Amino acid sequence: MTNLKTKLEETRTLIDGHLDSLLPLPIGKEKRVCEAMRYSILGGGKALRPFLVLIISDILGVKQQNALNVACALEMVHTYSLIHDDLPAMDNDTMRRGKPTNHIQFDEATAILAGDALLTKAFEILSMHQTHSDATIRCKLISYLAKAAGTSGMIGGQMMDLIGEKTPLALDEIERMQALKTGALLKYACTTPAIMAQENGAIFKALETYANAIGLMFQITDDILDIEGDSLVVGKTLGKDAIARKSTFVSVLGLDTAKENIKILAHKAENAIACFGEKSEPLKQTIHFILTRNK
Amino acid sequence: MTNLKTKLEETRTLIDGHLDSLLPLPIGKEKRVCEAMRYSILGGGKALRPFLVLIISDILGVKQQNALNVACALEMVHTYSLIHDDLPAMDNDTMRRGKPTNHIQFDEATAILAGDALLTKAFEILSMHQTHSDATIRCKLISYLAKAAGTSGMIGGQMMDLIGEKTPLALDEIERMQALKTGALLKYACTTPAIMAQENGAIFKALETYANAIGLMFQITDDILDIEGDSLVVGKTLGKDAIARKSTFVSVLGLDTAKENIKILAHKAENAIACFGEKSEPLKQTIHFILTRNK
């Protein structure tokens, strides 16, 4: 496990350096929005999605420059969604990754714009020649990101989540919400290397299965952490789901069944990546990382 | 002028039909966000940007299917910016295009998501084969939109505008703010047909000059309407700039000089499009339309 933690930290450093070169410099009268973009994206978070992009790209022989661009674009979309989700009109969170949320540190208007700007920048990056030499592949990456992040993906899931705060969701609806809200971007992280490597058959399918399984694992552990976690370790306010009487995997399945499901999913994820042989080691470690995560 | 008004109405109908086919259908638990997207974009507004895309594409011989996709993507970005700008944390507007703003009709969270989703969808549309058969051109259109809508364009301008509410802006700063906030997307509307037609020289330059001039005209008339307009005709709350003591072209130049400047810009715009001969008629009419607009 130390091995994976070190790798995640190395990824964070690598991604931060690359993000720094891609993000607009804070200059001019409008610099506040650039500062707000940098505040939320640099140095924070586990960088799990960029890690998956880089490690799977490595397995499939994708150029690191290409993988880094996709990883940064994806991290921008992930970060924009966190900034907007934290807003008072949404989850109204004041802490994120152990520091004040964007609208607390800056203000609501700046936070909305910083989110918008990160989303916009992500598409600019994917359109760059450095992301892939083949423009058709770049267009595929763009279309796929828009679908994963839009109403048929993340935004649809967030809308379902907001609806679910008012009316209880059934298990299949919670599953669909998770698949859209967090699953779609995780699937993007795991399968875009296959698109870049033009592997559209069994390899794409195996990565998709792996992504779906770890996405679901991640959400269930998130729900468990909201109950059993330490807010100082996790770095955000906890216990909010129970207070809001929100439907979660834990509230519907119960804690024991939820934990049992995680084990089944871990097994499924491990089977899916067996085809990569020894190379799959970091992906196996990722499964274990999610199984034992406390933040 | 009746001629142009009819053409604008025809464009609105054409664009609405195409938007309807491109927008996600409001189905499933998440349908609220799709309804909110449709609420703000369908049937509303002058559709000036789509009109410019279509009319210039026609002059340059670009396929209408391609032009329609670009026009719809651009209208989505324009509409998302209005939805977010109207939010309580930004301009806090309750009326837009003669009806309640998105967050009043729905709620703040849904309005934020609807804006995010329109922005995301715009990039998906540009990545489609139907937008242009050449993927390299599609990537150019995407990169260009991201720059026009991002911190080096619209978002940067909106940030400057928000800063300008607290500290007065000088004339050159107001000009730069305008060029970013509204000018960048207008320039996109006028010059993307040249990109689609692979006309990168004198024709691109002429359209750029025209766009810059009418963009500035549009903003100055907007500032004048805020003082002299009829809110029932304009369809939004007026007089807000003066109450907020915001720096505008009118507050800095005075009403007479502002009106004089509009005439000079109209002349400049007309000169720029002389190269298109008779075909430039609708573009000339657009100049006259901005000169005489009362909403």
Average of per-residue pLDDT across B166-182: 92
Yes or no: say if A104 and A54 are a contact pair by the CB < 8 Å rule.
no
Does residue A10 carry a pLDDT above 90?
Answer: yes
Which residues in chain A touch residue B110, judged by CB atoms under 8 angstroms apart?
A: 159, 162
Does residue B256 carry a pLDDT above 60?
Answer: yes
DSSP B100: E
**Domain total for chain B?**
1
Residue count of chain B: 295
From the list A112, A145, A147, the residue facing B90 with the nearest CB is A112
Band the pLDDT of B2: cuts 50, 70, 90: low
Across the interface, whether the CB atoms of A142 and B147 are under 8 A apart is answered: no
Chain mean pLDDT for chain A:
94
Average of per-residue pLDDT across B243-251: 82
Write out the two tokens for B97: 């295009």
CATH number for the domain spanning A204: value is: 1.10.600.10
- The number of C-beta contacts closer than 8 angstroms across A and B is 171
CA distance B27 to chain A (A): 10
Q: What pLDDT, on a 0 to 100 scale, did the predictor assign at position A242?
A: 72
Q: What pLDDT, on a 0 to 100 scale, did the predictor assign at position B127?
A: 98
What is the tens place of the pLDDT at every residue in B186-202?
A: 999 999 999 999 998 99
Across the interface, whether the CB atoms of A149 and B112 are under 8 A apart is answered: no
C-alpha span between B262 and B253 (Å, rounded): 12
Across the interface, whether the CB atoms of A152 and B24 are under 8 A apart is answered: yes
Yes or no: say if B80 and B218 are a contact pair by the CB < 8 Å rule.
no
The residue in chain A having the minimum alpha-carbon distance to the alpha carbon of residue B139 is: A127
Band the pLDDT of B244: cuts 50, 70, 90: confident
Yes or no: say if A234 and A225 are a contact pair by the CB < 8 Å rule.
yes
Does residue A184 carry a pLDDT above 70?
Answer: yes
Per the model's pLDDT, the better-predicted residue between B229 and B37 turns out to be: B37
Which residues in chain B touch residue A139, judged by CB atoms under 8 angstroms apart?
A: 127, 135, 138-139
Which H/E stretch holds residue B99? strand B99-100
Band the pLDDT of A257: cuts 50, 70, 90: very high
C-alpha span between B140 and B134 (Å, rounded): 10
CA distance B233 to chain A (A): 29
Average of per-residue pLDDT across B222-227: 89
Angle between helices A48-60 and A64-85 (to 10 degrees): 160
Does residue A166 carry a pLDDT above 90?
Answer: no
CA distance B74 to chain A (A): 13
Band the pLDDT of B25: cuts 50, 70, 90: very high
Does residue A82 carry a pLDDT above 70?
Answer: yes
Does residue B4 carry a pLDDT above 70?
Answer: yes
Strands (E), chain A: 95-96, 99-100
Does residue B242 carry a pLDDT above 80?
Answer: no
Backbone angles phi and psi of B171, in degrees to 5: -55, -45
Does residue B43 carry a pLDDT above 90?
Answer: no
Band the pLDDT of A2: cuts 50, 70, 90: low
From the list A89, A149, A176, the residue facing B112 with the nearest CB is A89
Chain mean pLDDT for chain B:
94
C-alpha span between A188 and A154 (Å, rounded): 11
Across the interface, whether the CB atoms of B109 and A162 are under 8 A apart is answered: yes
Q: What pLDDT, on a 0 to 100 scale, did the predictor assign at position B245?
A: 73
Which residues in chain A touch residue B139, judged by CB atoms under 8 angstroms apart?
A: 127, 135, 138-139, 142
Domain that holds residue A162: 2-292
Does residue A243 carry a pLDDT above 90?
Answer: no
Average of per-residue pLDDT across A110-127: 98
Write out the two tokens for A143: 């279309």
Across the interface, whether the CB atoms of A159 and B29 are under 8 A apart is answered: yes
Among A127, A132, A169, A181, the residue to mutate for chain B (most B Cβ within 10 A)? A127
Which residues in chain B touch residue A104, judged by CB atoms under 8 angstroms apart?
A: none
Average of per-residue pLDDT across A188-198: 98
C-alpha span between B156 and A120 (Å, rounded): 12
Q: What pLDDT, on a 0 to 100 scale, did the predictor assign at position A199?
A: 96
CA distance B127 to chain A (A): 5
CA distance B225 to chain A (A): 25
B96 DSSP β-pair partners: B99
Which residues in chain B touch residue A180, judged by CB atoms under 8 angstroms apart?
A: 30
Q: What pLDDT, on a 0 to 100 scale, did the predictor assign at position A202?
A: 96
Q: What pLDDT, on a 0 to 100 scale, did the predictor assign at position B77?
A: 98
Q: What pLDDT, on a 0 to 100 scale, did the predictor assign at position B254?
A: 93
**pLDDT > 70 in chain A, percent:** 99
Which residues in chain A touch residue B176, judged by CB atoms under 8 angstroms apart?
A: 29
Per the model's pLDDT, the better-predicted residue between B139 and B44 turns out to be: B139
